Amino acid sequence: MTDLASGTFRSLKSFNFRLWTAGALVSNVGTWMQRIAQDWLVLTHLTHHNASALGVVTGLQFAPQLLLLPWTGSAADRLNQRRLLMFTQAAMGILAVFLGVLTIEGIVRLWQVYVFAFLSGSAAALDAPVRQTFVAEMVGDVDLPNAVALNSTSFTAAQMIGPAVAGLLIAKVGTGWAILLNGVSFGAVLASMAFFRLSELRITVRAHRSNSGFRKGLRYVWRRRDLRAILLMLFLIGTFSFNFPIFISTMAVSVFHSDARAFGLLSSIMAVGTISGALFAARQEKPRFPSLMMGAVVLGVGCTLAGLAPGYWWFAAGLVVVGAAAMTFTNGTNSLMQLSTEPSMRGRVMALRVGIALGGMAVGAPILGWVANRFGPRWSLGIATLADFAAALVAMSAVTAEKNRC
């Protein structure tokens, strides 16, 4: 009871947040199933272990985060967030169903995967800043860091289940069924939002409609040294270190010659570390720059261990470290940016955060895929390590500047 009231699970005292968490868990399991199935489809069915093609798919999936940046944050600040979320979730579900059917029928082509990746990424670009700021409407600012961490815990719990289930489904009935089931899983989060207690939502201040909304967001961030530092760290890590699908799939298929079940298991093992990082974050009152710096350093160490791993299980152990550090860093940037930003600007600031982190993945994925093809997957992990340590130096600079001001 103490944990529910004031400890690790305190955000769950909100009825709407409990409902949201349950629906999101089911949907997130489906999301992880499709991630594994889509990577396996591209690497083993539509190409012959072509990491560059996988890099293009990943790039197209995250490119809309940058391309649609002028509109996604403004939409999050101005529109009804619950209705907008229901629209984006339904759109991603429909796209997954269509791709799953094409795959089951055996008529899917690589260019079609490219198209579906871009369309799904466009819906996700609109969804991400709304979903992150909507948490504050469910629980309020006091419990926001805790709710962000529990959201991540739910996503990570799904990461433990989804890839393993996907591996089994691929081996038993085929890749298309894992993708199709992801489409069906979006019904759970849609149902949860349909039963919300609307009177309990904490509606935040809405921004006024303006043609310069995105520019205002940029000017707001540019005036803030702390926000600029966080976004630079996110760019470095998002571009070169958060491309886990590239690292895991190329190491599993090209280095360790794994089958579908062993491939899916790696993401589930990584989730063990990720959920540890999420639960650690849930107990923190408010993240600060030193925790971001530590997260970046440990992430670099984890990428080093994974890149030098002599065998499958050593690589899996490195992924546990990577998962814990990545979640500590991700949750820290999310909570720190939201809590230090004016409510009417949160959507635009969080859109910049998501756009730079995930948009950076769109830039980095083809590069890392090419490096993995040309020099080997271990070299792509080496690039990730350098980016992580560079981000840690940015955080160190921000901490030093803060001390000097004091």
For the chain, what's the residue count? 406
Residues 6+ away with beta carbon under 8 Å from 183: 30, 93, 94, 95, 96, 97, 98, 99, 100
- Helices 346-374 and 213-222 cross at an angle (nearest 10°) of 80
- CB burial of 362-378 (b: ≥16 within 10 Å; e: otherwise) equals bbbbbbbbebbbeebbb
Q: Give tens-digit pLDDT for 270-325.
A: 878 877 776 666 666 666 778 888 889 999 999 999 999 999 999 999 999 998 88
Residues 6+ away with beta carbon under 8 Å from 312: 252, 256, 258, 262
Burial of 262 (0-12, 13-18, 19+ CB in 10 A): middle
The yes-or-no verdict on residue 113 having pLDDT over 90 is yes
Among 342, 326, 318, smallest CA distance to 234 is for 326
Q: How many CB atoms lie within 10 A of CB 205?
A: 11
Query: How confident is the model over 328-344, as a mean pLDDT?
Result: 78
How far apart are alpha carbons 21 and 12 in whole angstroms?
A: 9
The yes-or-no verdict on residue 4 having pLDDT over 50 is no
- pLDDT for 37 equals 92
Q: Give tens-digit pLDDT for 195-209.
A: 988 888 876 655 444
Structure-token match 């340590």, residue found: 389
Least confident interval from 86-100, 140-154, 320-334: 140-154
Among 4, 247, 277, 20, smallest CA distance to 130 is for 20
More confident residue, 184 or 17: 184
Q: Give tens-digit pLDDT for 207-254.
A: 444 445 667 777 888 888 888 888 999 999 989 998 887 888 889 888
What structural domains does the chain harbor?
10-400 (1.20.1250.20)
Confidence (pTM): 0.72
Helix extents (H) in 223-259: 225-240, 244-250
Calculated CA dihedral for residues 80, 96, 20, 158, nearest 10 degrees: -140
How far apart are alpha carbons 182 and 180 in whole angstroms?
A: 5
Distances (CA, A) of 256 to 120, 175, 230, 267: 31, 21, 36, 15
Residue type, 87: F
Among 109, 111, 105, 121, smallest CA distance to 31 is for 121
How far apart are alpha carbons 1 and 246 in whole angstroms?
A: 42
The yes-or-no verdict on residue 326 having pLDDT over 50 is yes
Question: At 228, is the secondary structure helix, strand, or coil?
Answer: helix
Question: At 196, is the secondary structure helix, strand, or coil?
Answer: coil
